Amino acid sequence: MRRVFLLLAIGVSLPAQQAPQVQSPQTQPPPSGSVTGHILCADTHAPARFARVSLVRLHDTENLERQIGVMFSSFGGPATTDMEGAFAIPHVAPGTYALQVDLAGYLDPTSVVAMQDWMKPDPQVQANLRSALPTVTIRGAETASLDASLERGATLSGKVLFDDGSVASGIAMQLMDAPAVVGAGGSTARHRGGLHRSYSTDDQGNFRISSIPPGDYVAAAVIQIQRMVPLSTGRSAFQNVGSSQTIYAPGSFRKKNANIIRVSGTDEKSGITITIPTRGLHFVAGTVIQQENGMPVTGGNVQMVDEDDPTLMLNGQIATDGSFRIDFVTPGQYTLRVMNAFERPQMDGTAPHRISHHYGTAQASVIVASGDATGITLQVPALEDPTKPPPIIAPPRAAATPK
């Protein structure tokens, strides 16, 4: 950001030779390398038109600097291929890059690589990445060429319904690696090409997810309730606070009940149905206050963990008045825990919106039976150093004794 210095002369006259010299800050020139190339569709041999092309920085194997795989492209963002499938990315700094391509229906070339491998500086891992991916190395001001051919991926399609038979339209969809969800299947967590797009159901509750690499997956729908909470400043302003829950196919809040879907090649798996439960759901609500003075905290999160199934976690956001509400709760016994509670100064239009205090954690056991659980108060203690958030505590794994 450019700094502007204003010199005010108030009743003082300086000789010309003593006048202060205001110098413009030196700006670093942009990198002078560039990458050009063509992208084709392997199944049709036609140009991959209007594909988004980016470069992903790989570790420098010579000095093993810990460079995490960071998205890199021209200053204006990812390049887009033209009608001939050609692209050009200017201002590329020296380094080795892998090609990443986003085109609906096709696999991103980086989808063959496990995500954790991007982070490893191990020379052998990096050598394997370079042999498996289309890469290019920039050493200075040269223009390098890099072409790629995209393979078509698999597709999953289906429908999302409520348990009364009505269609669920506009529902966000997720496709996750089965090992990450239920600890089963043969695939590993990958840098999934195409799966970073947003998918949702149409007006008939239908969904279609494309560009899927081979592997084992779990399909899920995400439901969310938004509520407006008045800000604690006393102004006529509100905060938008959300509560969400994931329903795994065929229709369970619990990961262990999720169906595993295996795809390979250009499979077209259809007929997947996810049923969203509407009966027997409750909400849990309360307030988070400071243990020292009873005043509400102004932000943070509250997490609920099922004491019989710790993989079932629900999350709620703490509003500026200290209140929280967690929806979509099924009957059971839960551990309710405050996570990263904090305090922000009131917004008056002049002070930056920064966290001024962090607080410790607090928890309580809550039983949800035939109705909502409300009026819960959680008191968070002060920290020895309020400028730093408390360490993250793993959720409980053993079942607690019911009250």
Calculate ∠ Cα 347-351-355, nearest 5°: 75
Calculate ∠ Cα 160-165-171, nearest 5°: 25
Token pair 């710790």 is at which residue?
310
Cα separation, 12 vs 151, in Å, equals: 73
Element (H, E) at 125: helix 123-132
8 A C-beta contact, residue 208 and residue 148: no
Contacts of 177 (CB under 8 A, 6+ apart): 185, 187, 188, 189, 190, 192, 215, 216, 217, 218
Cα separation, 89 vs 37, in Å, equals: 9
Dihedral sign computed on CA atoms, order 193, 112, 115, 148: negative
8 A C-beta contact, residue 264 and residue 209: no
pLDDT of residue 112: 83
Cα separation, 229 vs 301, in Å, equals: 15
Phi, psi of 110 (to 5 degrees): -80, 0
pLDDT of residue 388: 81
Q: Which domains, and CATH codes, for the chain?
A: 33-150 (2.60.40.10), 153-276 (2.60.40.10), 280-393 (2.60.40.10)
Give the number of residues written for the chain.
Answer: 403
Whole-angstrom CA distances from 41 to 48, 149, 151, 214 are 6, 6, 7, 18
Residue 291 CB coordination number (10 Å): 13
Q: What is the pTM of this model?
A: 0.77
Beta pairing, strands 154-162 & 268-276: parallel
Selection from 284, 298, 278 nearest residue 364 by Cα: 284
Cα separation, 362 vs 342, in Å, equals: 13
pLDDT of residue 70: 46
Whole-angstrom CA distances from 322 to 231, 235, 365 are 10, 17, 19
Instruction: Tell me 42's DSSP state.
Output: T
In order along its 403 residues, the chain shows pLDDT tens digits of 444 333 333 333 334 444 445 445 456 788 889 999 999 999 999 999 999 999 988 877 655 444 444 444 445 568 999 999 999 999 999 999 999 999 999 999 988 887 778 777 788 888 888 888 999 999 999 999 999 999 999 999 999 999 999 999 999 999 998 988 877 544 444 544 445 578 999 999 999 999 999 999 999 999 998 877 776 555 556 677 778 899 999 999 999 999 999 999 999 999 999 999 999 999 999 999 999 999 999 899 999 999 999 889 999 999 988 999 999 999 999 999 998 899 876 654 444 456 778 999 999 999 999 999 999 999 999 998 888 877 765 544 333 323 3
The token pair that represents 1 in the structure block: 């950001």
- Order of all β-strands in the sheet with 206-212: 206-212, 154-162, 268-276
Contacts of 77 (CB under 8 A, 6+ apart): none
pLDDT of residue 392: 64
Selection from 345, 333, 402 nearest residue 373 by Cα: 333
Selection from 261, 252, 189, 185 nearest residue 219 by Cα: 261
Calculate ∠ Cα 319-324-327, nearest 5°: 125
Residue 283 CB coordination number (10 Å): 18
3-state secondary structure 181-196: HHCCCCCCCECCCCCC
Cα separation, 33 vs 38, in Å, equals: 18
pLDDT of residue 353: 59
